[in-house]
Structure 1
Amino acid sequence: MNDAMLEALATRRSVKPDRLAAPAPSGAELERILTIAARVPDHKKLVPWRFMIFEGEARAAAGELFAAACLAEEKDTPSPVRLETERNRFLRAPLVVGVVSRAQKRPGAPEWEQILSAGAAAFALCLAANASGYGTSWVTEWVAYSPAVRAGLGLAENERIAGFVHIGTPLEKPEERERPALADIVTRWSP
């Protein structure tokens, strides 16, 4: 039994993106985290996900894309404050990894299973970063669903954002939050 791993899983918490600071993993450390994140269930070995790294100035460039998409897609003209929020969206954490789901038509590998595999990759990314001493926050927000952002990120027709994982050093330990009672979420089936 690996008590340290069980304890880490039992106490895992997300850290809000604006509560993550430098340093973030880079180089060989980031490569190791991504390698671990790619080690998830993958029926038919389709690799139905990929990772998109936003670091350094790429985070600000993504923010410009988000602000332009906001201007193009909002019914009412966004306020300057809203546009500044969009420009700073990926500047909240020192590293953001987009997890892109890329399901394909394949007999014996339903699309749903492929999407779940992408979700597993996103969570494995969080766990690997956490085990390396970093805080994480897996979020989507409106940008994950924006047609203009999808186009600006070069997503193919079969690709969707499973989430953006913000990674960095936590500024403080996140507070625990209430979890569901097992009695409310567990049933035992019997014939």
Structure 2
Amino acid sequence: MTINGPLLDYLKTRRSVGGGFLKDPGPAPDELEQILTIGMRVPDHGKFAPWRLIVIEGEARTEIGNRLAQIAKQKRPELDEAGMDIERRQFLPAPLTIGVIYSPKPHPKAPELEQLLSAGVVAFNLCNAAFALGFGASWVTRWFAFDPAAQEMLGARAGERFVGFVHIGTPTMVPEDRDRPKLEDIVSNWQPPA
């Protein structure tokens, strides 16, 4: 294989764009199909596809926000109108969000941890595909990824859970790079135990 310089440059500078900095236009149907297709090109030991994807766009974003606000109010009765409005806007302004659901397929060949990691890589690959098409993207979880009532409302079935939500749209800013760990702080060579 030859060195792919543009890909190396991209990987060295890749940066998420927060959902608050994503606007219309979002991906067109053919672009969304590419993003979804690329997103699923991940390691998948056993070819179980232990994940499902839910596309949230258009008016569904507002409807989901209203339902999230109601669930949040039931969980936290002290939530005021400003807090309710924050919940209503969870899927705004990004024009499109893809919910990534971990859907394990119990099998001795592929431990559930492997399957969970595969689902996580789908979320990251969706981000990479969006960036490759000129969009910005951000992979987030937030409280509703872990709340059973919210998960069910968002489309998770029994035994499933969300690994995150990938917001995609046209970026309104160029994100600055952030500090990264120093290699000497996180990398070591294996040594035999004493």
Query: Which residue is equivalent to 1:55?
Result: 57
Match of 1:107 in 2: 108
SS of 1:190 mapped into structure 2: coil
Letter in 2 for 1:117: S
CA distance in 2, matches of 1:157, 1:105: 14
Contact 2:141 2:164 in 1 (8 A): yes
Deviations 1:150-191 (A, max 9, x none): 121231122111100010111011011000000011011133
Q: In angstroms, what is the RMSD of aligned CA positions?
A: 0.9
Partner of residue 6, structure 1: 8
Aligned to 2:97: 96
Q: Which residue of 2 aligns with 1:37?
A: 39
- Which amino acid is 1:57 matched to? E
Task: Give me the whole-angstrom Cα distance separating, in 2, the residues matched to 1:157 and 1:170.
Answer: 35
Q: Distance in 1 between matches of 2:100 and 2:5?
A: 29
Aligned to 2:88: 87
Correspondence 1:63-78 to 2 at 5 A: 63-74=65-76, 76-78=77-79
Alpha-carbon distance between aligned partners in 1 of 2:73 and 2:25, rounded to the nearest angstrom: 32
Q: Report the secondary structure of 1:44's partner residue.
A: coil
In the alignment, residue 40 of structure 1 is paired with which amino acid? V
d(CA) in 2 for partners of 1:153, 1:168: 20
**Structure 2 counterpart SS, 1:164:** strand
State the distance in 1 between where 2:143 and 2:9 align.
Answer: 33
Q: What letter matches 1:16 in structure 2?
A: G
TM normalised by structure 2 equals: 0.95
1:72 Cα deviation (Å)? 1.3
Structure 2 SS opposite 1:96 = strand
Query: Aligned residue for 2:24?
Result: 22
**Per-residue deviation at 1:85?**
0.8
Give the ranges of 4+ consecutive aligned residues of structure 1 lying more than 4 Å apart after TM superposition. Answer: none
- Length, aligned pairs only: 190
The DSSP-based 3-state class of the residue aligned with 2:46 is helix
